[in-house]
Structure 1
C-alpha cells in the first residue's frame, strides 16, 4: 500500500537524521537535544524531592563520597555535568538517574549494598544511564512508536470498535516488541558500562555480582517473565557482568596502581 510506503520512507528519514552512537558503540535513535532532556531531568528531580523525604547526614555523605569518586574519573564534558545525588527515605531497594546528572538512591538499597564497592556498582550503573543518553533514546522511541500507530490508525480507517480493538493489539505488540526490549538493552548496557566506570575509579567490580546476589536473596520471587519486564532477570544480569569481568578486573588493578583507592566508610 502506498501509505505504508510513505510511512516507511518517513521513518527512515527520521532515523537517519537522529542516529547517534552509545558509549559501547551501539547505534541509537535520539530525537531530543541534551538541553531539553536536562531541563526535564531537573524538573523531575525537584518534584521527586517534594514527593519523598530526603535523608541527610551520614547516609548522604556516604552516597556523595562514592558518587564523587566515580565522577572524578570521567573526562571532559561528562565530568562537568551538574552531578547531584540524594538519599530518599524508602524501603524499596531502588535507585534512579535523570538526564543532567541527577541521581537518587533509596535507604532500602543502602541496606542491601554491604560496602562501598557494592554501592559503587549501583551508582556507576546510574551514571552509565546518563552518559549513554538512555532517557533520550527511550523517549524518542516512545514518541516515534506513538506517531506510527496514530498514522496507521488514520491511514487504514481503523476508527470503529473493531479498529480500536486491532489498534490495542498493535499497541501491545509495540510494547513487548519494541519498548520493553529496548529498556532491557539499556539496563544491560548500563551494567557493562557501569562496571568500567566503577573499576576505573578503584572500586572492585566483582562486588557487582555480590550485590545482585544480595538483591536476589532479598526479593520475594514475584517477578514477571524477562520478556515482559523492563529489566533483565537477576540471573541474566549476573551472567552479563561475569562475561565482562576479566576486563573490568584489569581496569580495577590499573586504577589501584595509579593510586585510586576510594575510602567511603559505610554508615
Structure 2
C-alpha cells in the first residue's frame, strides 16, 4: 500500500510539469481549467460581498478609464494567447483610497483599488503596466501553479502520514491544499515573469514601456519608501525591480515602436451601480 502511494505521488510529480510563456518549467498538479472554475466562484463571492458592504466605487469617470486601458490590454492578450478569448474579463473597482493594490485571478477576473490612483497619481501608461502585470499572472497560469504548490505540500504531508502509518496525519492533510492555496503568494520567479510579460503586453497595447520604471519609482515612495528587506518578500524590492524593468523596456519598445494603440476589447467594470 505504501509503495503504491509513493509510486503514484512520484509519477504525479514527473508528469505534471509544463512550460510557461517564457519557457520556464512549471509544476502543474491543478489544471488551468480547474483553477478558472475555482477562481470564478471565489471572485463572484468576494465581489458580491464587497457590493453588499458598499465597498465598490461609483466613480464613473474612473470606471471608464479602467475599462478603456484594460480593454486594450485584453485585446492584445487574446491576440497573443488565444486560449483567453473565452474568458469572462471583468474588473471590480474597489472604493478604498488607502489600499495600493490590484489583482487578477485565473480566467481574467480582476480588481483595482482606488488607492492606486489616489496615492500614486498614475498616468495611463503606468496603470497599463500594473494591469499588464496582473493579467500576465493569469495568462502564465500562476494561479494554477500556486494551487499546485499547495497540493505538493499536502502530498508531502500525506506521504509522511502513509509512511508512518499515522491515519490522523494523513487525514489531517486532506484540507490543507485549499487553505495553502489561498495563503501562498506568487513566487518571486512568477513575479519577475509577470513583470516581463506585462511590460510586453502593455507595449503591444500602445503604452510607453518606460512607464514601468516610473511606476516602480512611485511604488518605492509609498509609505515613505519603507518596506521589508527583499529577502523577506516574494516581491523584488522596488529599486531592483526598476533596474530590471529598465533593461526590459529597451527590448520591449521594438514590439511597437510607433506606440500604436490597440483596439478596446469589452471589459465589464463592476461598480456600486453595476454589480454581479
TM-score class normalised by the smaller sequence: 0.7 to 0.9
In 2, the alpha carbon distance for the partners of 1:228 and 1:135 equals 21
1:24-103 equivalences under 5 Å are 24-52=22-50, 53-56=55-58, 57-74=60-77, 75=79, 76-90=82-96, 91-103=98-110
CA distance, structure 2, for counterparts of residue 28 and residue 245 of structure 1: 25
Q: Among residues 220, 223, 238, which one is paired with 1:219 in the alignment?
A: 223
Higher-RCO chain (CA-CA 8 Å, sequence separation at least 6): 2
Relative to structure 1, the CA distance from residue 24 to residue 69 in structure 2 (aligned partners, 3 Å threshold; closer, same or farther) is: same
Greater fraction of residues in helix: 1
TM superposition shift of 1:222? 4.4
User: Contact 2:209–2:252 (CA<8 Å) still a contact in 1?
Assistant: yes
Structure 1 unaligned segments of length 5 or more: list them.
164-174
Secondary structure of 1:214's match?
helix
The aligned residue for residue 108 of structure 1 is 115
Offset at residue 34 of structure 1 (A):
2.9
Q: Tell me, what secondary structure is at the counterpart of 2:203? A: helix
SS at match of 2:234: coil
Q: Gapped runs of 5+ residues in structure 2?
A: 170-179, 265-276
In 1, distance between residues paired with 2:219 and 2:49?
Answer: 25
CA–CA distance in 2 between the matches of 1:80 and 1:204? 28
| Structure 1 residue matching 2:193: 3-state secondary structure | helix
Distance 1:250 1:104, change over 3 A: same
Q: How many Å apart are 1:48 and its aligned residue?
A: 2.1
Distance 1:150 1:223, change over 3 A: farther
Q: Deviations over 1:18-66 (max 9, x none)?
A: 1211111111111223332112211221122134311241111111110
CA distance in 2, matches of 1:30, 1:79: 22
**213-222 or 197-206, which deviates more:** 213-222
